């Protein structure tokens, strides 16, 4: 029985997922076909990574193939066939996906299509103050300063800070709260505080209805941050507004802004227009 047959038996014995067995076996077969042998060095593996990269394989695909090779060479070592360790091989980093966000027109349409006063207050506040959904559900009426148009929220690490609220959102909150003077701001039909899941369902319901999109409350936070940055807000001020402990977390919005710029450039460049 050759090495690949033994390896396939090993996979079938140790992995329940047929998909994993097939993927790992095919990845190893492709590598051996590329190298013509399983006797390798770190230089050989790095050359293979470069080959895959030049072949336009994604970082995720390359990482999966390296995982398959790690299992294969661990199997060879345990079986006393060949001793080689991939632990020194540097895996490619998977690119972080940029957060979804709505453009200004979509945001306006989204807010205008909400017919429930409570839901309008929820979505307006999520967007206006770029709140995390956990920060919103924990808000009490006592946390609102109507005259200063601010709210006090509890950020990560139990840190409290004041956050500005748009005048329009303050008016919506006033109308929704009515005569209540304390307790949770946002209530369900039973008079209890809304849950995170409830808020997520509310946002998704209106987004599907008005935008035909599936978004989350966090999309509104990303949207607000992107709109503020595009309109000239300093990155350091945006960092404080969002409650990011590191400026690195805030810099993702510069990439979003650049994407907008590229799209606008492509759309209005004269050479891109049809005659």
In DSSP notation, the chain reads --HHHHHHHHHHHH---HHHHHHHHHHHHHHHHHHSSS---HHHHHHHHHHHHHTT--HHHHHHHHHHHHHHHHHHHHTTS-----TTSPPPPPPPPPPP---HHHHHHHHHT---HHHHHHHHHHHHTT--HHHHHT-BGGGEETTTTEEEEE-GGG-EEEEE--HHHHHHHHHHHTT--SSBSSB-TTSPBPPHHHHHHHHHHHHHHHTS----HHHHHHHHHHHHHHTT--HHHHHHHHT-SSHHHHTHHHHHHHHHHHHHHHHH-GGGS--
pLDDT for the residue 57 = 85
Instruction: Tell me what pLDDT residue 209 has.
Output: 92
Q: In the annotation, is 192 catalytic?
A: no
- Gap between the Cα atoms of 273 and 275, Å rounded: 6
Domain positions in the chain are 3-78, 104-268
Q: Please pick, among 65, 218, 222, 227, the residue that the annotation labels catalytic.
A: 218
Q: What is the pLDDT of residue 98?
A: 59
* pLDDT at residue 258 in the model: 52
Mean pLDDT of the region 16-32: 91
Selected catalytic residue, list 120, 221, 222, 227: 221
User: Region 92-99: what's the mean pLDDT?
Assistant: 63
Calculate what percentage of the chain has a pLDDT beyond 70. Answer: 88
Top-ranked range on mean pLDDT: pick from 6-10, 50-54, 156-160:
6-10
Give the mean model confidence (pLDDT) for residues 254-258.
Answer: 61
* Residue 275: band (very low, low, confident or very high) from pLDDT cuts 50, 70, 90: very low
Q: Does the active-site annotation cover 253?
A: yes
- In angstroms, the CA 85 to CA 104 distance is 52
Average pLDDT, integer, range 69-91: 87
Which one is predicted more confidently, 155 or 25?
A: 25
Cα–Cα distance measured from residue 122 to residue 194, given in angstroms and rounded to the nearest whole number: 10
- The tens digit of pLDDT for each residue in 102-118 reads 999 999 999 999 999 99
Looking at the predicted structure, is the pLDDT value of residue 131 above 80?
A: yes
- Report percent pLDDT > 90 for the chain: 59
Q: What is the mean pLDDT of the chain?
A: 87
pLDDT at 271 over 70: no
Catalytic residue among 132, 222, 224, 227: 132
255 is catalytic: no
Q: What is the mean pLDDT of residues 193-219?
A: 94
- Radius of gyration over every alpha carbon of the chain, rounded to an integer in angstroms: 27
Fold of 104-268: hpI Integrase; Chain A (1.10.443)
Span 247-258, average pLDDT: 71
Please state, in angstroms and rounded to a whole number, the distance separating the CA atoms of residues 253 and 225.
7
Query: Could you tell me which residue, 60 or 255, shows the higher pLDDT?
Result: 60
Residue 123 has pLDDT above 90, yes or no: yes
Q: What is the pLDDT of residue 218?
A: 93
pLDDT of residue 272: 44
Active site residue 96: no
What does the pLDDT read at residue 269?
Answer: 46
218 is catalytic: yes
Q: Is 132 a catalytic residue?
A: yes
pLDDT of residue 97: 61
232 or 89: which carries more pLDDT confidence? 232
pLDDT at 223: 93
Q: What is the pLDDT of residue 190?
A: 95
Distance CA 87, CA 257 (A): 38
Q: Nearest CA to 126 among 117, 115, 135?
A: 135
Q: Which of 38, 48, 206, 253 is catalytic?
A: 253
Angstrom distances, CA of residue 58 to CA of 55, 64, 220: 9, 10, 30
In the set 77, 91, 156, 180, the catalytic residue is 156
For domain 3-78, give the CATH number.
Answer: 1.10.150.130
């Amino acid at each position: 029985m050759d090495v690949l047959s033994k390896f396939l038996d090993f996979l079938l014995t140790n992995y329940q997922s047929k998909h994993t067995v097939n993927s790992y076996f095919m990845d190893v077969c492709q590598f051996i076909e590329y190298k013509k042998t399983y006797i390798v060095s770190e230089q050989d593996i790095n050359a293979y990574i470069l080959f895959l990269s030049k072949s336009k394989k994604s970082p995720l695909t390359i990482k999966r193939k390296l995982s398959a090779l790690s299992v294969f060479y661990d199997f060879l070592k345990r079986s006393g066939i060949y001793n080689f360790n991939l632990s020194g091989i540097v895996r490619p980093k998977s690119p972080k996906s940029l957060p979804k966000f709505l453009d200004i027109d979509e945001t306006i349409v989204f807010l205008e299509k909400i017919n429930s006063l409570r839901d309008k207050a929820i979505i307006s506040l999520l967007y206006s103050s770029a709140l995390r959904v956990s920060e919103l559900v924990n808000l009490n009426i006592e946390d609102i300063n109507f005259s200063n148009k601010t709210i006090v929220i509890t950020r990560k690490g139990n840190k409290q800070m004041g956050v500005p609220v748009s005048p329009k959102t303050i008016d919506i909150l006033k109308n929704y709260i009515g005569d209540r003077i304390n307790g949770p701001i946002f209530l369900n039909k039973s008079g209890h505080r809304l849950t995170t899941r409830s808020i997520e369902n509310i946002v998704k319901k209106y987004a599907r209805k008005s935008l035909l999109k599936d978004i989350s409350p966090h999309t509104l936070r990303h949207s607000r941050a992107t709109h503020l940055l595009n309109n000239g807000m300093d990155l350091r001020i945006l960092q404080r507004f969002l409650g990011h402990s590191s400026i690195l977390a805030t810099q993702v919005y510069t990439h979003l802004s650049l994407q907008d710029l590229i799209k606008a450039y492509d759309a209005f460049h004269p050479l891109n227009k049809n005659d």
